[in-house]
Structure 1
Amino acid sequence: MSLFKISPYALKEKKGKETIVAVTAYDYTSAQIAEAAAVDFVLIGDSAAMVMLGHEDTFSIGMEEMLLFCKAVSRGAPDTLRIGDMPFLSYQVSKEQAVYNAGLMVKEGRCHGVKVEGGEEVACVIEAIVKAGIPVLGHIGLTPQRAAELGGLKVQGKTLESAKKLIKDAKVLEEVGVFGIVIECVPAELSKVITEKVSVPTIGIGAGPFTDGQILVFHDIMGLLKGFRPRFVKNYFDGFNTFKEALSQYVKESKEKIFPSEKESFSLSQEILQELLVD
């Protein structure tokens, strides 16, 4: 694996030339599938708190858990660009702690860069991480770690004031050295304006078709989560019901003694069997 071949900054060359497609994944198996599908990069998101651990929000996950998910994805997608999500309180306390934790993402989690939520308010932290030699992916719009401040998980940038702030945030992030910016749950027209005003790629999730790239969670793409489908998600597979039907069939066949059959069983030689029966 060549670090330069999959450098985050290689994505900047795709802006305006090729749509960037990414997926958020958390484990070895989904990472294998993502790599086989040739996504441009895999984000190991702090949304693992909800998708993998069953929490109600992203606040509950810490560095130790994130590193486990990052390591799993790195083994499943060794030749794909991997970006680790900095969890809540891993970068808000101090620049020094932020750089240290970002370093852990790279050194122990085997990520090629990190994602940091926020705009102008976290610019100094992002700048410090970049100066330490760690690539950073920005994230503006709906930032789940600031859900309480934003009034919940809802579309951002719908007023003139908030739209101007998002444009300013994007420009500030560009200035401090991010290699790209995730734009989440923002009106499509505003995402287009932001995309045109910055030289780094924008990656949209619930941000319309005008960004430089798109990202969705693996489990959302596969329809694996029961009763969960935000407006911006498109299920490409009915995973929950398909898997449920398969598992139900396994339960049925096991109870009816159909499974395992001779085909799924191992046999003992008749000679040895006779000896055992005699004893």
Structure 2
Amino acid sequence: MGNMPTVADIRSHDADDDPLTFLTAYDAPTAAALEAAGIDIILVGDSVGNTMLGYDSTLPVTVEEILSHTGAVTRATDESLVIADMPFMSYGADPDEAIETAGRMIKEAGAQAIKHESGPHTIELTERLVQNGIPVMAHLGLNPQSVNETGDLTRRATDAEEAEEILELAKAHEEAGAFALLLEHIPANVAKHIDEALSIPTIGIGAGPHVSGQGLIITDVLGVGDWVPPFAKQYADVQSEMEKGVEGFREEVQNGEFPANDHYVEEPIDGWD
């Protein structure tokens, strides 16, 4: 597989290929950095709600917000596969509306595929989206959008019944035409079982090593914000770099160092003294 895969490349990914890399991005400069670093798949996640927009959860994120952030990401990238997330309540209730919304993600915002948090109610939707030429990534395991129903964001599939249910839903979404499956915060042995049962690739976020690729939330990777989940790894400390830069500016303004001579010009202008 080349550096930047298409939906078809992802679908045909096999165990001999390098593991896929998957990160979120919500703005143009971050997306450009991800593409320059060779990340395969960029998800414009509804995690924008708590990472970027100051919401307490992903639930308030609107279709318009995802469209706006997806547009920023696709304008800054040429090759990375960009997937737009379907926000809470934008699908499920009315399939026609869901298809229209997904179509806007592709047509207006330039995404190449959509992701939805999946359940029994999204099997038929997946089929209809794929029939309409809209590639779908399914998402099982921890579903942040179900926080009101499940009560928390703890690990899923910790008993045989739930593990079996996720496996059946995974198979059903593959059959419905999903090109990949995101598995979030489930035990590694369950993820391994699911990966082996499917021919489409599985991307894990906190799902152990036995999957086709690994994903994380970009703010966890870069160290922006104040909390990193136990399954994530922080590779940089961007928050403290930002604070350092801003403090440097404030101090130099207050002590008169900025602006220095080379930051401005003085022009003799006739009629002004």
Normalising by structure 2, report the TM-score.
0.95
Name 1:228's counterpart in structure 2.
227
Alignment map for 1:98-247 (pairs within 5 Å): 98-225=98-225, 227-247=226-246
Normalising by structure 1, report the TM-score.
0.93
Q: State how far apart, in whole Å, the 1-side matches of 2:83 and 2:7 are.
A: 9
Unmatched tracts of structure 2, length 5 or more: none
**Alpha-carbon RMSD:** 1.4
Larger Rg: 1
Q: State how far apart, in whole Å, the 1-side matches of 2:263 and 2:208 are.
A: 49
Unmatched tracts of structure 1, length 5 or more: none
Give 1:47 shift: 0.9
1:266 aligns with 2:262: no
Amino acid at match of 1:45: G
- Mean alpha-carbon deviation: is it higher for 256-265 or for 6-15? 6-15
Name 2:37's counterpart in structure 1.
37
Q: State how far apart, in whole Å, the 1-side matches of 2:129 and 2:270 are.
A: 71
- Identity percentage over the alignment? 34
1:90 aligns with 2:90: yes
Name 1:51's counterpart in structure 2.
51
Q: State how far apart, in whole Å, the 2-side matches of 1:264 and 1:209 are.
A: 51
Q: State how far apart, in whole Å, the 2-side matches of 1:104 and 1:252 are.
A: 46
What does the per-residue CA deviation read over 1:112-154, in whole Å, with 9 as the maximum and x for residues that have no partner? 0100111333101111111111000000000111122223111
Q: Which runs of 4+ in 1 moved over 6 A?
A: none
Q: State how far apart, in whole Å, the 2-side matches of 1:267 and 1:234 are.
A: 50
How many equivalent residue pairs? 269
Classify the secondary structure of the residue corresponding to 1:130.
helix
Q: State how far apart, in whole Å, the 2-side matches of 1:164 and 1:229 are.
A: 29
Amino acid at match of 2:107: K
Give 1:264 shift: 1.9
- Mean alpha-carbon deviation: is it higher for 145-154 or for 173-182? 145-154
Q: Do the aligned partners of 1:119 and 1:172 also contact (CA within 8 Å) in 2?
A: no
Name 2:249's counterpart in structure 1.
250
